[in-house]
């Protein structure tokens, strides 16, 4: 073999490309791992309690390159041997410790995994890409406008704060390659700057009414599931929408508007009359958010243990609110599939703007988010 095959040219960027390819492959693996574990990640208690600063670890399959592995234990494997096998012989049952069901400790290697650090922003990027406010339409009363940045051009002159690093480096590389130089230097003529303008775009007002049952029947799991859902809902709305109002209503036999901190931290007791929350929501809408000016989205969480005589009134109030809203969402936390008086009443409703979902385990919080905040309602737990 010629010695030239072992010579690495100065212009050979294959190693750089290989490193970049490995990085891109790693990023794709991390994204895939986030997507596969998203339902569990968003219900992770450590994230919910971290106030947005949590970094979690998720396992992803090892990114090792293919290589020969020696069989140091000299065990016979399928496709190897002295050639004495006969037709019908059973081969390849697997060796102990290689994933077979066995008693005792195994001595074989398992599947290699590595842990990747995932921030709250990584999870949000994946989750929020799937979510949107359904039936969002422009509203006429207020000319709501938002300021956006529109990058229009790339020029050789501009402010250093607007320098386009990528294009500047590409120009420097091209210049060095044209001159046959093995050293890259950035000349003033290589500098590239992005120019931008502020643009005014119309936007739609929206208000979300967060209603939560805080009665004595709401146990630890019920409260955790409800607060986890609202935690992600609030972050989603504030990340993706400019003009969104969020009002918080807590109720047992009576309803009251509360602060965001109170909503997420305080508990109550007593019985349950859900129509009290709907009455208050109607008053807030009529006083502060006329349907002609706002997209309205009530979202109610309960365990479904409502006063039976109140169910008919609840249906009536929900129908009234639906006439003013883009969507009405009802989520019921029911881990043990017990009989629910409120869900039984709501199962008779046929209003297309009314969406319902039953949360039975932590991972259902993710499915509830997708069921409520999507263009069309998805199939989910409804009973």
Residue 315 token pair:
């249906």
Q: Residue 359's beta-bridge partner residues?
A: 333
Better-predicted residue by pLDDT, 25 or 128: 128
Instruction: Identify the CATH homologous superfamily for domain 206-372.
Output: von Willebrand factor, type A domain (3.40.50.410)
Better-predicted residue by pLDDT, 333 or 171: 333
How far, in Å, CA of 29 to CA of 95, rounded? 30
Residue 104 token pair:
């005792």
Residue 132 token pair:
């949107």
DSSP state at residue 334: -
Res 51 pLDDT > 50: yes
Query: pLDDT value at position 379?
Result: 54
pLDDT classification of 62: cutoffs 50, 70, 90: very low
Q: What percent of the chain has pLDDT over 70?
A: 66
Output phi, psi for 193, to 5 deg. Answer: -125, 140
Query: pLDDT value at position 5?
Result: 46
Res 256 pLDDT > 70: yes
If one counts every other C-beta atom within 10 angstroms of the C-beta of residue 216, the result is 13
Query: pLDDT value at position 146?
Result: 47
Scored b (16 or more CB within 10 A) or e, 154-169 reads eeeebeeeeebeeebe
Looking at residues 222-236, what average pLDDT do you find?
94
Top-ranked range on mean pLDDT: pick from 36-45, 119-128, 278-287: 278-287
Q: Residues with Cβ < 8 Å from 276, sequence gap 6 or more?
A: 251, 253, 254, 255
Quick: pLDDT tens for 338-352.
888 899 999 989 999
Res 148 pLDDT > 70: no
Looking at residues 5-28, what average pLDDT do you find?
59
What SS3 state is found at 112?
coil
Looking at residues 68-83, what average pLDDT do you find?
57
How confident is the prediction for the chain on average, in pLDDT? 78
If one counts every other C-beta atom within 10 angstroms of the C-beta of residue 341, the result is 18
Res 241 pLDDT > 80: yes
How far, in Å, CA of 243 to CA of 207, rounded? 8
Top-ranked range on mean pLDDT: pick from 12-26, 222-236, 369-383: 222-236
Looking at residues 122-134, what average pLDDT do you find?
89
Tokens 């020969």 locate to 68
If one counts every other C-beta atom within 10 angstroms of the C-beta of residue 366, the result is 20
Query: pLDDT value at position 57?
Result: 62
Strands 244-251 and 206-213 turn out to be: parallel
Better-predicted residue by pLDDT, 274 or 203: 274
Query: pLDDT value at position 204?
Result: 63
For residues 236 and 323, the answer to whether their CB atoms sit within 8 Å is no
pLDDT classification of 72: cutoffs 50, 70, 90: low
Query: pLDDT value at position 38?
Result: 84
Query: pLDDT value at position 121?
Result: 81
DSSP state at residue 43: T
Query: pLDDT value at position 188?
Result: 81
Per-domain boundaries in the chain: 13-64+114-128, 147-202, 206-372
| Poorest-pLDDT segment among 14-18, 129-133, 288-292, 352-356 | 14-18
For residues 250 and 268, the answer to whether their CB atoms sit within 8 Å is yes
Better-predicted residue by pLDDT, 12 or 63: 12
pLDDT classification of 320: cutoffs 50, 70, 90: very high
pLDDT classification of 268: cutoffs 50, 70, 90: confident
Res 4 pLDDT > 50: no
Q: Residue 290's beta-bridge partner residues?
A: none
Looking at residues 279-301, what average pLDDT do you find?
95
Better-predicted residue by pLDDT, 107 or 135: 135
Query: pLDDT value at position 343?
Result: 92
Res 138 pLDDT > 90: no
């Amino acid at each position: 073999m010629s010695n030239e095959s072992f010579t690495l040219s100065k212009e050979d960027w294959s190693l750089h490309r290989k490193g970049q390819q490995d990085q891109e492959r790693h990023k794709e693996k991390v994204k895939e791992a986030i997507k596969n574990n998203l339902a569990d990640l968003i219900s992770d208690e450590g994230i919910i309690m971290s106030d947005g600063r949590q970094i979690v670890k998720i396992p992803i399959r090892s990114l090792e390159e293919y290589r020969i592995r020696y069989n140091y234990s000299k065990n016979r494997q399928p496709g190897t041997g002295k050639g004495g096998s006969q037709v019908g012989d059973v081969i390849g049952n697997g060796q102990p410790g290689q994933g077979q069901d066995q008693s005792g400790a195994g001595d074989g290697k398992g599947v290699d995994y590595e842990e990747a650090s995932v921030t709250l922003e990584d999870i949000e990027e994946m989750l929020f890409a799937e979510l949107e406010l359904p039936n969002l339409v422009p509203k006429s009363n207020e000319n709501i406008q938002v300021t956006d940045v529109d990058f229009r051009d790339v020029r050789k002159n501009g402010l250093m704060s607007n320098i386009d690093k990528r294009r500047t480096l590409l120009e420097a590389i091209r210049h060095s390659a044209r001159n046959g130089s093995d050293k890259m230097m950035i000349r003033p003529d290589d500098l590239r700057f992005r120019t931008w303008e502020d643009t005014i775009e119309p936007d739609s007002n929206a208000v979300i009414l967060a209603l939560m049952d805080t009665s004595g029947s709401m146990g630890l799991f019920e409260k955790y599931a409800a607060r986890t859902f609202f935690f992600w809902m609030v972050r989603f709305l504030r990340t993706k929408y400019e003009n969104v109002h969020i009002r918080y209503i807590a109720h047992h036999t009576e309803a009251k508007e509360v602060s965001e901190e109170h909503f997420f931290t305080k508990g109550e007791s007593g019985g349950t009359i859900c129509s009290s929350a709907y009455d208050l929501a109607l008053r807030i809408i009529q006083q502060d958010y006329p349907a002609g000016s706002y997209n309205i989205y009530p979202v109610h969480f309960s365990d479904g243990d409502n006063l039976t005589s109140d169910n008919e009134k609840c249906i009536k109030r929900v129908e009234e609110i639906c006439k003013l809203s883009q969507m009405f969402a009802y989520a019921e936390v029911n881990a043990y599939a017990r009989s629910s008086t409120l869900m039984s009443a709501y199962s008779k409703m046929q209003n297309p703007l009314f969406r319902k979902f039953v949360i039975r385990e932590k991972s259902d919080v993710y499915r509830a988010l997708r069921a409520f905040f999507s263009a069309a309602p998805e199939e989910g737990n409804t009973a």
